[in-house]
Chain A
């Protein structure tokens, strides 16, 4: 007779198999529930997207958020799967049934009888592994629902539907873009190839408005506009940097003239201006024939200035810089008129008032000097375009060669405004540096009325606190505390010089009274 002594290991194996089956059953239940819940959620999301787009005009990117319904649906699936988790007894019955349903496994487990463990183990092994239904059909349904959602998001509806008014507005946008491309091309920000490519893109965009839908079309229009505005910004930045360098060069020239009149430093400033002009000419060269000439002229002047330090030449150089600034302003003004730059960008192009005044004064002095002074033989020959007389030297003093530096210093000493609100030394008019012209004009004097706090009828009177009156002499004589009689206020309000004079006067007076 076979040995049927109890062996708990067999039942333990059966228990392990039951656990494995339960996990599989739970996973399968979750897969099925998730498939079904996802399908429902996606159908709801698709329907919601259609309604939101058609009725409330939501965009596809807004409506796609409805797909978040899948998250609570999966949570519901999880809970439902937990609820459908079979008990161990049910699982054991399922295994027994899969093994043929002879009941041995069930009896052994229910009675925990190890004598039948081996037989129960055989039955459990005979049952094999569970191949649960993962709900493939439901997942197919979910896939179909996902397609429905994509369709609901992609079909032109609501915000994407292009009607006549939208088409007209899009046409207006396209026309505006075309003008902006033209303005950029004129300003040199776009070369001919670039402007042609931009125009081609615009044309393809115009032809695809109906296909793209309003949202995609607006995005494309915005994208193109951003590119054009970026080009305009680059142009403005270039102009700004050029003008900064010109201004920096001019300021260097002035500072050196004021300081030690170092010819080399002045020449360096001139070269800066020339280099800036040359860079601007390179950048703007294609669109304007005058700019390269301007740059060449500036370069020649800078070289001449470096060689002879002529005040007149410095003035001419600054005139050229001012001309360049005006050209740049005009070009960027066209870009601003085309809507590619804002006004603040243009205002930043204007040179600081102080520097501008310095330029103006320098140029005026140069012109004046040129008109009033008699050139020396060397200068005269040069102005006539002739060769200098042999052995001749520049006379200096009244000539723009050599002595120009001294005049530069004198001009700077006249005190051009150095920025900020104030007039500075001399009789220069009040300026509001750093403000735009428009803002500066808003400033003005205004006579303020008397503050009505002392008016008995004023509403503020009820809040007035009147300090107790205190005799000045008593306060001083009583405790000897200095300042207790209010002289601290006088000290704060008076300048040290006046305060010292007043104290001396008071001391003298007190001494005389004591003597009396």
Chain B
């Protein structure tokens, strides 16, 4: 029994190295964190009717401190969602409407020659809209790649460099970008490396009839609900700390690693659809991303550790936009979510699937 515990605890130490050096969250801590997160979730659901899965995933990304790419037709409530999230978190937010003539400086800000009070002129840095907690990058695919890159650098590094000076962005910092999948003329699709910066790519679906009915009844003129902050900043940081302490069991980590490995078409364990339709598989950043997201998802479910079910629930929004599909996928009408489903189906949770 002692050796067996050593076996289990050995893997625990390894997972401790990965980011959870202390013990498990106590059931009380988990319950408290869950209650806080549930308050946020309830607020989001109040702002956006009939988008429960979407709001949940947005909250998960928020707790995992990841950025979200929302894809959907105009008028589905993407902006409302971002505003609601910012209000509930008690954070400031800004919106940037991306257009083809938008310059990087319009996003990040830049030096402006100004008259000094004592005389003379100096270049003074004027922060752009990116210097906020929650940034809504509307129709991000309409901006030029240069502008997109400027934003995506800020997303990855959480800081902005201008004129040799580096300025950190406020903490926390979220980018919720939207893109319209219909009007693609004159757009610049995000390259794969930049897509990788987004934790999730979520599709905003049309609300069902009941939600729509409720919407037109309760939201006269499209006015949003009056939302107050559901959590203090300290509480938010406590939530982040709780997410960091959610345990990642070794078998789950092993499954994630095998999923990422099997996503490459050249891998021996790659399923046939992956071999056929995928040109480039998942990066290690994808593995890190899903782990962090799974921690938040587990906490939201009231668990002290990540389970296989968390990974399964988050695989499509995390992996889908990171898979680089072959032209044959488009020809055959294969979507990324189909390939992720194939991946989940073909790679067993247990190594070797010994039963």
By a beta-carbon cutoff of 8 Å, the part of chain A in contact with chain B is 1-2, 4, 15, 18, 25, 28-29, 84, 86-90, 92-94, 96-97, 100-104, 106-113, 115-116, 119, 130, 132-133
Contacts and interface: CB of A to CB of B under 8 A. Distances in A.
19 contacts: A15-B1, A28-B355, A84-B354, A89-B251, A90-B350, A90-B354, A94-B350, A94-B354, A94-B355, A96-B308, A100-B307, A100-B309, A107-B247, A110-B11, A110-B247, A110-B250, A111-B12, A112-B8, A113-B304
B298 A115 contact: no
A104 B305 contact: yes
Contacts of B9: 110-112
Given A89-B11, A116-B27, A25 B249 contact: no
Given A1-B28, A86-B354, A110-B250, A103 B7 contact: no
A115 B27 contact: yes
B26 A93 contact: no
B195 interface: no
Nearest to A1: B28
B158 interface: no
B337 interface: no
A129 to B, nearest CB: 13
Nearest to B294: A103
The 9 closest A-B pairs by CB, nearest first: A107-B305, A103-B307, A101-B308, A93-B251, A106-B249, A110-B12, A102-B307, A88-B4, A4-B27
Given A88-B7, A106-B252, A133 B355 contact: yes
B7 A96 contact: no
A116 B304 contact: yes
A102 B250 contact: no
Tell me what chain A mostly uses at the interface: helix, strand, loop, or mixed: helix
B307 A106 contact: yes
Contacts of A108: 24, 304-305
B180 interface: no
B177 to A, nearest CB: 31
B303 interface: yes
Contacts of B27: 2, 4, 115-116, 119
Interface of B: 1, 4-5, 7-9, 11-12, 15, 23-24, 26-28, 31, 247, 249-252, 298, 301, 303-310, 312, 349-351, 354-355
Nearest to B15: A110
Nearest to A94: B350
B245 to A, nearest CB: 11
Contact of A87 (B7, B23, B305, B309): B7
Contacts of A113: 23-24, 304
A25 B355 contact: yes
A512 B13 CA distance: 127
Contacts of A104: 303-305, 307
Tell me which of B24, B249, B250, B350 has the highest count of chain A C-beta atoms within 10 A of its own C-beta.
B249
Tell me what chain B mostly uses at the interface: helix, strand, loop, or mixed: helix
Given A90-B350, A100-B309, A111-B24, 7 more contacts: A25-B355, A89-B250, A92-B8, A93-B251, A93-B349, A110-B11, A119-B27
B7 A107 contact: no
B8 A88 contact: yes
Contacts of A87: 7
A97 B349 contact: yes
Contacts of A18: 4
Contacts of B23: 111, 113
Contact of B8 (A84, A89, A116, A133): A89
Contacts of B354: 25, 29, 84, 86, 90, 94
Contacts of B5: 112
Tell me which of A86, A97, A119, A133 has the highest count of chain B C-beta atoms within 10 A of its own C-beta.
A97
Contacts of B351: 90
A102 B312 CA distance: 10
B247 A111 contact: yes
Nearest to B354: A86
Nearest to A3: B27
B251 A107 contact: no
Contacts of B252: 93, 103, 106
Contact of B308 (A1, A86, A103): A103
Given A15-B1, A133-B355, A101 B307 contact: yes
A64 to B, nearest CB: 36
A488 B24 CA distance: 112
Given A25-B355, A107-B24, A115-B26, A93 B249 contact: yes
A220 B40 CA distance: 94
A97 B307 CA distance: 9
